[in-house]
Amino acid sequence: MVLKVLGIESSCDETAAAVSRGEGGKREILSNAVASSMDFHARFGGVIPEIASRAHLEAFAPLVEKALSSALLSLSDLDAIAVSSGPGLAGCLAVGTSGAKGLALGSKKPLFEVNHVVAHLAASEGEFGPIPDGSVGLVVSGGHTTLFEIEKFPGRLRVAGSTLDDAAGECFDKIGRLLGLPYPAGAAIDALAKKGDPFAIKVPQGLRGQKDRLFDFSFSGVKTSVARTVEKMREEGRPIPVEDICASLAESVSEVLSRKAVAACLAFGSGVLVVGGGFSANSQLREKLKAKTEEAGIELRIPSLSLCTDNGAMVSLLGLDLLRSGASPSPMDASIDSSMPLDLSSF
């Protein structure tokens, strides 16, 4: 049976709507419309919730219409509607979930409120098909760095490790601000790192040797170390080797992420590593993951760049999984959860 799901995403600064179709083990993204308000936030060096919420409100209806028309479908053709209801910015989530509830009520379609972070894993299904049982998942973004042991997707997942302080993307943004790079800094650091020496300065690798924190992450020390190096150079009147600093930072962070992800696969006996989240667009991380998984004989499932950042396709794909698994639709009085936990109750 062919099923079609509209996915809506509004957890931060991107408003997104997409339609995905599933039949058996096949997945196909029919449309994927995204509008970002990042240009409004860049001048402040971070996302301003009130500005983002207003942008979601203005973009919601046009984007849904665009997603449906691009898929050559109407609301009546859908089998369900899925929407991110957490974690994220409360006001932003409220716009997306309220709009999705209105669409579901008006079209008499079931509604599935999904976990935004877990949806990043589902993004891979648009290119690789359903996530196999027993996989390991790594989600890396501006706000999250989490390793999942996946017993069965999407119903049974366990958090195997997570960041104890700064997320990987957050670390890059803070160092980017110190170096005078545009916000968000991920793309700029990525580009500069390609021109620098990854071993020019010494950057620590947090929690590398702590067995009781085998799959957890810590990037606060990385941030502090790089910041002190830059501050010392400035105090001494030395030129700042921005390219080398970016390369050394990227080397440290990507090495820790890739090494721990592969270690988790080996520890759990998993032959598949699924990666998602905005930071997974980082070229240094993608190269290290490819090299380490090939060496270990592990299949790497990492989506194209357009599916790494927040998008509606990942939400619609997760909605398809829930619909196919026989999960109960969300009640219309279900509320958002800006700090939604990443455990099984999230589904």
Parts of the chain with a pLDDT under 50: 344-347
**What is the reported pLDDT for 47?**
86
Q: What's the CATH architecture for 136-302?
A: 2-Layer Sandwich (3.30)
**What is the reported pLDDT for 210?**
67
Assigned CATH class of 3-123+307-346: alpha beta
What is the rounded CA–CA span in Å between residue 34 and residue 96?
A: 13
Q: Do domains 3-123+307-346 and 136-302 have the same CATH topology?
A: yes
Bond from prior residue into 184 cis (ω within 30 degrees of 0):
yes
Paired sense of beta strands 80-86 and 3-9, if any: parallel
Q: Across-strand partners of 138?
A: 147, 275
Paired sense of beta strands 145-152 and 136-140, if any: antiparallel
Structure tokens at 216: 């957890």
**What is the reported pLDDT for 347?**
39
Q: Looking at the chain, which runs of residues are DSSP E strands?
A: 3-9, 14-23, 26-36, 80-86, 111-115, 136-140, 145-152, 156-162, 272-276, 299-301
Paired sense of beta strands 80-86 and 111-115, if any: parallel
The number of residues making up the chain comes to 347
**What is the reported pLDDT for 346?**
41
Q: What are the C-alpha distances in Å from 47 to residues 6, 13, 40, 50, 256? A: 26, 7, 8, 9, 27
Domain boundaries, the chain: 3-123+307-346, 136-302
Paired sense of beta strands 136-140 and 299-301, if any: unpaired
Which phi and psi angles does 45 have, rounded to 5°? 75, 20
User: How confident is the model over 316-341, as pLDDT tens digits?
Assistant: 999 999 999 999 999 999 999 988 88
CB 7 within 8 A of CB 82: yes
What is the rounded CA–CA span in Å between residue 278 and residue 287?
A: 16
**What is the reported pLDDT for 43?**
75
What is the rounded CA–CA span in Å between residue 70 and residue 65?
A: 8
